[in-house]
């Protein structure tokens, strides 16, 4: 017990200064519990309010994707420039150094490969694994309009319930099948359903027409999915347009690790996302960093 003798009388109560109550910086997240907000603040930069997520979880359904044949060789050099890594527990345990300070978003849905119906997923990772691995969020694929739409939605809501219980947010990933329209109306539907059912933030694709209606109608943060590999300037332009139209960052994979200069590309993407650098300037930055090797 502390010695009570000689204790100075407390005087500095600052009675003329109301206690501050800082609002949380992310859209629609102010009422969340402290632990979830703390994890989200590791995913999203509190200064810019945005994130650059590096998606390397493709192998969970399509095997060793081009650029991901050797994660230790191709991806680890990119980690210092990302805010967040989105990956599977197998890659996390076997390749990523536990000394990393980057936020981890763990893929927790799965069960189908590219050889089968992709929407036939289930929850493939237990909440105890997410806690054990100290992750910042859990990612669940949702197939609005897919053959197993209902099952994928229930997967997400189940993880939201569990995530709320243990203070771990859920990222809903809107999947687009080959027969689904990639337009604003579809993504309004998919994102709003996920948000209404409790997803803490959502990953979805960019569309050139009316993307701002997708972000405006979604009450929680949206991060833009990078999608298939396109030329570097086009990818930087897409990222710029997405954040200018309301996205809270990007979750890029192939447009970074399949680039001719992945380290340069992720730095250029980060400049677009966090500094609102124009695509033209970001492309010049990319070329400069590429030339330096």
Number of H helices, E strands in the chain: 12, 10
Which residue has 């536990």 as its token pair? Answer: 98
Neighbours of 5 (CB within 10 A): 5
Contact 77, 110 (CB under 8 A): no
178 is catalytic: no
d(CA 252, CA 270): 11
Q: Select which of 203, 209, 228, 292 is catalytic.
A: 203
Judging by DSSP bridges, how do beta strands 122-123 and 109-110 pair with one another? Answer: antiparallel
Tokens of 109: 């849905």
Could you tell me the CA-to-CA distances from 258 to 67, 75, 103, 129, 269 in Å, in that order?
6, 10, 22, 30, 14
Q: Which positions are annotated as active-site residues?
A: 203
């Amino acid at each position: 017990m502390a010695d009570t003798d000689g204790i100075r009388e407390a005087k500095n109560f600052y009675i003329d200064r109301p206690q501050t109550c800082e609002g949380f910086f992310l859209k629609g997240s102010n009422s969340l519990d402290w632990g979830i907000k703390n994890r989200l603040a590791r995913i999203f930069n509190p200064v810019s309010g945005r994130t650059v997520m590096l998606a390397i979880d493709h192998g969970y359904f399509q095997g060793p994707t081009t650029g991901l044949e050797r994660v230790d060789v191709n991806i680890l050099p990119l980690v210092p420039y990302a805010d967040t890594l989105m990956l599977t527990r197998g890659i996390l345990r076997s390749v990523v150094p536990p000394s990393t300070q980057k936020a981890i978003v763990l893929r927790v849905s799965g069960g189908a490969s590219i050889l089968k119906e992709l929407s036939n997923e289930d929850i493939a990772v237990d909440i105890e694994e997410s806690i054990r691995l100290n992750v910042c969020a859990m990612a669940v694929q949702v197939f609005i309009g897919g053959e197993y739409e209902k099952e994928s939605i229930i997967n997400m809501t189940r993880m939201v319930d569990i995530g709320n219980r243990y203070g771990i947010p859920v990222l809903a990933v809107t999947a687009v099948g080959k027969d689904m329209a990639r337009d604003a109306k579809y993504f309004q539907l998919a994102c709003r359903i996920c948000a209404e059912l409790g997803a803490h933030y959502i990953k979805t694709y960019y569309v050139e027409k009316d993307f701002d209606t997708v972000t405006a109608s979604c009450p929680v943060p949206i991060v833009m999915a990078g999608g298939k590999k396109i030329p570097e300037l086009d990818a930087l332009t897409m990222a710029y347009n997405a954040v200018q139209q309301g996205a809270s960052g990007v979750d890029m994979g192939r447009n970074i690790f399949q680039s001719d200069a992945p380290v340069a590309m992720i730095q250029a993407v980060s400049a677009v996302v966090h500094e609102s650098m124009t695509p033209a300037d970001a492309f010049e930055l990319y070329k400069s960093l590429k030339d330096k090797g």
